Structure 1
Amino acid sequence: MGYKVAVAGATGNVGREILSILDERGFPADEVVALASRRSMGVEVSYGDKTLKVKDLATYDFSDTDICLMSAGGAVSKEYSPKIGAAGCVVIDNSSQWRTDPDVPLIVPEVNADAIVGFRKKNIIANPNCSTAQLVVALKPLHDAARIKRVVVSTYQSVSGAGKDAMDELFAQTRAVFVSDPVESKKFPKRIAFNLIPQIDVFMEDGYTKEEWKMVVETKKILDPKIKLTATCVRVPVFVSHSESVNVEFETPLSADEARKILHSAPGILVIDTRETGGYATPHEAAGEDATYVSRLRDDPTVDNGIAFWCVSDNLRKGAALNAVQIAEVLVNRKLITSRRKAA
Structure 2
Amino acid sequence: MDRSINLAIVGATGLVGEAIIKLLADRKFPVGELFVLASENGAGSKIAFAGKTLTVSTAEDFDFSQVEVVLFAAGASVSQALAPAAAEAGAVVVDLSPAYRYEADIPLVVADVNDEMLAQAREQNLVACADASTVQLLRALKPLTELGPLQDVVVTQFQAASATGKSGVDQLAQQSVRLLNGLSPSEAAQAQIAFNVLPVSGQIQENGFTSEELKLMLETRRILAD
Aligned to 2:207: 206
| TM-score, reference length from structure 2 | 0.94
Aligned to 2:142: 140
Q: How does 1:134-213 map to 2 (within 5 A)?
A: 134-184=136-186, 190-213=191-214
Q: What's the offset of the Cα at 1:193?
A: 1.3
RMSD: 1.5
Cα pair distance change 1:144/1:84, threshold 3 Å: same
Aligned to 1:96: 98
Deviations 1:65-110 (A, max 9, x none): 1000100110010111011101110110110001111111111111
Q: How does 1:10-159 map to 2 (within 5 A)?
A: 10-159=12-161
Q: What's the offset of the Cα at 1:148?
A: 1.1
Counterpart-to-counterpart distance in 1, 2:89 and 2:193: 43
Q: Output the amino acid matched with 1:210.
A: S
Counterpart-to-counterpart distance in 2, 1:39 and 1:5: 21
Q: What's the offset of the Cα at 1:189?
A: 5.1
Counterpart-to-counterpart distance in 2, 1:189 and 1:216: 29
Partner of 2:130, secondary structure, is coil
Deviations 1:204-262 (A, max 9, x none): 1112111111100110111232xxxxxxxxxxxxxxxxxxxxxxxxxxxxxxxxxxxxx
**How many corresponding residue pairs?**
224
Partner of 2:138, secondary structure, is helix
Counterpart-to-counterpart distance in 1, 2:118 and 2:190: 38
Work out whether residues 24 and 48 of structure 1, in 8 Å CA contact, stay in contact via their aligned partners in 2: no
Q: Output the amino acid matched with 2:105.
A: D
Counterpart-to-counterpart distance in 1, 2:167 and 2:98: 19
Counterpart-to-counterpart distance in 2, 1:197 and 1:169: 15
Cα pair distance change 1:106/1:181, threshold 3 Å: same
Work out whether residues 15 and 71 of structure 1, in 8 Å CA contact, stay in contact via their aligned partners in 2: yes
Partner of 1:153, secondary structure, is coil
Q: Output the amino acid matched with 1:154.
A: T
Q: What's the offset of the Cα at 1:185?
A: 7.2
More contact order relative to length (CA 8 Å, sep ≥ 6): 1
Q: How does 1:281-300 map to 2 (within 5 A)?
A: none
Q: How does 1:299-314 map to 2 (within 5 A)?
A: none
Q: Higher strand fraction: Structure 1 or Structure 2?
A: 1
Q: Output the amino acid matched with 1:204.
A: Q
Partner of 1:206, secondary structure, is coil
